[in-house]
A and B are shown apart, each in its own frame.
Chain A
Amino acid sequence: MRFIFKTKYSQDINIAKHNGDRFWYSLLILIMVALPLVLDDFYLGEISYICILSIAGIGLMILSGYTGLASLGHAAFLGVGAYTHAFLLTNGIPFYASIPIVIVVSFLVGAAIGIPILRLTGMYLAIATLALGFIAEHVFIKWEHFTGGNRGLPVPQPEFLGMSFYDSVFFYYVCLVFLIAAMFAAINILRSPTGRAFVAIRDSEIAAQSLGVNLGLYKALSFAISGAFTGLAGALLAHYIGYLAPDIFNIFLSLTLLLLIVVGGMGSLHGTVFGAIFVGFLPQLIAICRDYLPSSIGSQPGLEPMLFGLILVFFILYEPLGIYGRWMKIKLFFELFPTYKRQTFKKQKVFTKSDRV
């Protein structure tokens, strides 16, 4: 067990709580930087994809995990980011200028969506975002001038810093840099007054309001920030896919993002990375499952949604804190060994809170 003896106020808000943290996270970054020496192109592509998923996960985590607003249509933001980026690149805007524009556009789209549906809470919000996701998918199909419609839109792969995006090592480094930058941005947003206000809204709207948090403003801000992160992920995703078709950004992608944050662990930024690793390797996992099952079941196309649903249900029922929660329990077990008590993480008995007035 480690006791941190605090002698300065700044220790409370430091990003790294102690030297152990500093050591392990630096080591992790070093390993990530050195990975291209060991891995071949296929695995680098997979890890780039995981980085992209993590960035999108950070976006959704800020909205759902920290502000407590469910969104079932987050693929729309990925789509906005991806199409804006591809459109700008096609019209000759260089990469370094396009990314900031994408972030600003997604931020504004997030705010534009957030403001009209601010008044909704809980279930109503989930339904509204679900409908918005469908409408967005439809707009991507019908707005052919901008998106190429069902024919799709090829994504130009421009030169950047003298390197091409076709080079998987270079693309990996781009994704990694953006992930680390996004992570730092998210950590800093969340320990600022804005982030504290988000968490306050999640835990109790009434309490937050009485302490002077402007609910409407901060909810819209949460949508906008979430949209900006997800839009950035969308821009990178456009490079990863190479050819945009509107049916990529369907409800299944939105639900995959939700699965990501639930499996990773609601309300933790670590969770986004854990969840992204899980979701990124899920197709491989399913492929392995197929081999072990009898061929009459294993070759069925329905296996994928079924496993998807089973994983979701099992995590909600038995590990609501996700992989990160499980990791905390294991860590605490070794820190407290042999005095770990199972009751530490026991679920509190709660009563249904009524929405009715």
Chain B
Amino acid sequence: MQLIQLIIDGVASGCIYGLVALGFVLIYKATETINFAQGDILMLGAFVAYSLIGIIGMDYLTGFALTVLIIAVFGFFLDAVVVRQIIGQPAFATVMLTIGLGFIFRGFASIYWGTDIFSFSTPFSGKITEFNGLIISYVNLSIIVGTAILMSALYFFFTFSKIGVAMRASSENQLAAYYMGIPVKFIFSLIWSISAGVAAVAGVLLAPITLVDTSISLIGLKAFAAAVLGGFGSIPGAIVGGIIIGIVEQLCGTYENYLFEGVREISAYLVLILTLIIYPRGLFSDKAEVKKV
């Protein structure tokens, strides 16, 4: 019974990793760059939600929606104004650029909102439900349900909407998509905005658990493990990878005595390294995307 309880908690935190990893994957599939600032965008989302819900006093759902909208617009212009300029330069340049952007966001957040730890009230805070002796908090439930809703929305968007199909086309082959009349640059900015929006959703869902401060941007680094485990180009892979990482982390934390001290904090990174060494394609990659020497 304890095991199932742990797995449920793990799935909830894993969904957050999965959502952040989803942001990496969307951008990577389209532009072959990795956004190292994804975790910082999540942090911005949590802070904006705090401003709207905690300070201005908006209704939770309205504040949630407005936060996602603001961050999505922000993501759009982030690509259109800054990141687009270095397309075609070596991968290293993008890595450095997004790391620099992450530092700017974190610095801005601690200047604008301060370095204290904030919280805002949600309809889920403090409520739990019991099911066959399992204790499930409403917060965890909201994360799992929110992820499921978002995933199905994205699935339908990419499968049936015209823009979604255009996005998949641009990811597959930029030049061919361009010849077909798809405005590739605009589509890429739109992908950045979706990815930022997903990060904002993760940030708002996460806020009741970890509270809001600048250190939550570190989740972005653990989400790399999720993305790599799932195979960097796969959207369901990102979520499954995230859930696996979440469960592994919970289990390592509980059974720490049988392993070694402090294994919980680095378990995600150990999984990441092992995946890269043993099976760098990841679980769900449809084609070999990692070049081998």
Contact = CB atoms under 8 A, between A and B. Distances in A.
B47 to A, nearest CB: 12
Given A216-B293, A316-B100, A350-B88, A131 B272 contact: yes
Contacts of B96: 258, 262, 312, 316
B272 A128 contact: yes
A124 B285 CA distance: 14
Contacts of B88: 349-352
Interface in A39-94: 64, 68, 70, 72
A278 B277 CA distance: 37
B273 interface: yes
A347 to B, nearest CB: 9
Given A117-B277, A118-B293, A302-B108, A134 B266 contact: yes
B82 interface: yes
B276 A301 contact: no
B108 A142 contact: no
Contacts of A135: 266, 269-270, 273
B228 interface: yes
Count chain B CB atoms within 10 A of each CB in A127, A297, A306, A357 and give the residue with the most.
Answer: A127
Interface in A300-343: 300-313, 316-317, 320
A186 to B, nearest CB: 20
Interface in A112-153: 116-124, 126-128, 130-132, 134-135, 138, 141-142
Contact of B228 (A124, A302, A310): A124
Contact of A119 (B33, B105, B270, B290): B290
Contacts, number: 166
B258 interface: no
Contacts of A72: 95, 99
Interface residues of A, number: 58
B80 to A, nearest CB: 14
Given A216-B293, A309-B101, A131 B107 contact: no
B234 to A, nearest CB: 13
Among B101, B277, B291, the one with the most A-chain Cβ atoms within 10 Å of its Cβ is B291
A297 B174 CA distance: 44
A215 interface: yes
The CB with the most chain A CB atoms within 10 A, among B85, B174, B261, B269, is that of B269
A75 to B, nearest CB: 14
Contacts of B82: 313, 317
A215 B225 contact: no
B90 A68 contact: yes
A131 B273 contact: yes
Given A126-B91, A262-B96, A357-B289, 9 more contacts: A120-B276, A123-B28, A131-B273, A138-B262, A138-B266, A305-B104, A306-B108, A309-B106, A310-B100
6 contacts: A138-B262, A307-B107, A309-B105, A309-B106, A349-B88, A352-B87
Interface of B: 28, 31-34, 82, 85-93, 95-97, 99-111, 115, 174, 214, 221, 224-225, 228, 232, 260-262, 265-266, 269-270, 272-273, 276-277, 280, 287-293
